[in-house]
Amino acid sequence: MGDLFDKFQPIIDLRAGLLSTGAEDPFSLVMERVISPTQAVCNGRETILLGTYNYMGMTFDPDVIAAGKQALDEFGAGTTGSRVLNGTYAGHKAVEEALKEFYGMDHAMVFSTGYQANLGIISTVAGKGDYIVLDIDSHASIWDGCKLGDAEVVPFKHNDIEAMEKRLKRIPEGAGKLVILEGVYSMLGDIAPLKEMIKVAKDNGAMVLVDEAHSMGFIGPNGRGVAEDQGCLDDVDFVIGTFSKSVGTVGGFCVSNHPKFEILRLVCRPYVFTASLPPSVVATACTSIRKLMHAGNKRAHLWENSRVLHKGLKDKGFQLGTETPQSAIIAVIMPDLERGAAMWEALLKEGLYVNLARPPATPAGMTLLRCSLCAEHTAEQVQTIIGMFERAGTKVGII
């Protein structure tokens, strides 16, 4: 009898090889105590956090916490049901209202995670016989949504407008077409030329879905994302987002102006066949989203942090994922997995947590140390971080 686990042997060997050097396991870190959005005790050490998606630092916002506590007291720990049966509480409607206001759109549908939002919307709107044209570097939840829906999937080279256009033109006349893009690509922290891409998609008769998971709250004058920043939000048919990044809790959503959008609540399986979010979670999300509408100062400080860290690391000789700072993510490119893991550990010993990212999550087989900044990082912390990178990089021999 074949062992179904044999297929995992290469990754078992890779992990064992990495740990046999006595290194700390980069994939089983424990946050023993969280002190603030930017500091925690991890693996027994006080650590600056530079690898969370807590871009706007909302996890410890006093109003957000108070709203969650109140909802927990008033509505209990969970809904124990689907949104379409007993799982829609006043809080779920309230957070959908907040999302509609935040984006200035007619409809909002909240899912239990951003992963499920992509899974649900993509698989439901693009099914058998339809075509999905998507960037090859799309997030796993986008790929999984494509698989679930059974549409023809046509990938194109990352951010390549011409390649996208060529593929759109090859689709048979009359077929349904969905173009899927992301505002910020989370591995390298680069943004998409959405304005040009959306124009090409529309000129070729496609509907457009943009995942703004890593831009919500931060990019654009009102924090609506890259499409807002580039002045093309009105041309996006579906915006996907998550509560697990700038909003500071958990959950996912889709907003849209499509007049028939509400029917999705009855036909979208990852919305129907799962329990809805706990009342405390939707209450924290609702409060956080409403505060993010007026977070111009925080957005400005986060941009400043991003610019300073990008320049600081570049000046020290690190190779970065983007020439200029384009988002709150700054990816530091490592020569290989071994030195990437060594650098990750050296930084942890310095008291800094970053994300170690490797294939298949990363493009082009790269190993990356992904830094994600927070609006609550002080200017002093950013300087401390640059010093930590310099010492660790020298020790490991990367700079």
Ligand X SMILES: Cc1ncc(COP(=O)(O)O)c(C=O)c1O
Q: Which residues are at the interface with ligand X (CB under 6 A)?
A: 113-115, 118, 139, 141, 182, 186, 211, 213, 242, 244, 252
CB of 262 to ligand X, least distance (A): 22
CB nearer to ligand X: pick between 137 and 390: 137
Task: Single out the residue of 254, 300, 310 nearest to residue 116, CA to CA.
Answer: 254
CB nearer to ligand X: pick between 119 and 396: 119
CB of 11 to ligand X, least distance (A): 20
CB nearer to ligand X: pick between 244 and 284: 244
CB nearer to ligand X: pick between 112 and 287: 112
Which candidate in 107, 139, 245, 377 is catalytic? 245
CB of 52 to ligand X, least distance (A): 11
Residue with tokens 């044209």: 133
CB of 252 to ligand X, least distance (A): 5
Reduce the secondary structure of the chain to three states and give it as a string.
Answer: CCCCCHHHHHHHHHHHHHHHCCCCCCCCCCEEEEEECCEEEECCEEEEECECCCCCCHHHCHHHHHHHHHHHHHHCCCCCCECCCCCCCHHHHHHHHHHHHHHCCCEEEEECCHHHHHHHHHHHHCCCCCEEEEECCCCHHHHHHHHHHCCEEEEECCCCHHHHHHHHHHCCCCCCEEEEEECEECCCCEECCHHHHHHHHHHCCCEEEEECCCCCCCCCCCCCCHHHHCCCHHHCCEEEEECCCCCCCCCEEEEECCCCHHHHHHHCHHHHCCECCCHHHHHHHHHHHHHHCCCHHHHHHHHHHHHHHHHHHHHCCCCECCCCCCCCEEEEEECCHHHHHHHHHHHHHHCEECEEECCCCCHHHCEEEEEECCCCCCHHHHHHHHHHHHHHHHHHCCC
CB nearer to ligand X: pick between 287 and 372: 372
CB of 110 to ligand X, least distance (A): 11
CB nearer to ligand X: pick between 354 and 388: 354
The yes-or-no answer on residue 245 being catalytic is yes
CB of 210 to ligand X, least distance (A): 10
Q: Which residue has the CB atom at the shortest distance from ligand X?
A: 114
The yes-or-no answer on residue 301 being catalytic is no
CB nearer to ligand X: pick between 209 and 308: 209
Which candidate in 186, 288, 306, 372 is catalytic? 186
Specify whether the CB–CB gap between 50 and 373 falls below 8 A. Answer: yes
CB of 1 to ligand X, least distance (A): 36
Which candidate in 214, 298, 310, 377 is catalytic? 214
Q: Which residues are catalytic?
A: 186, 214, 245
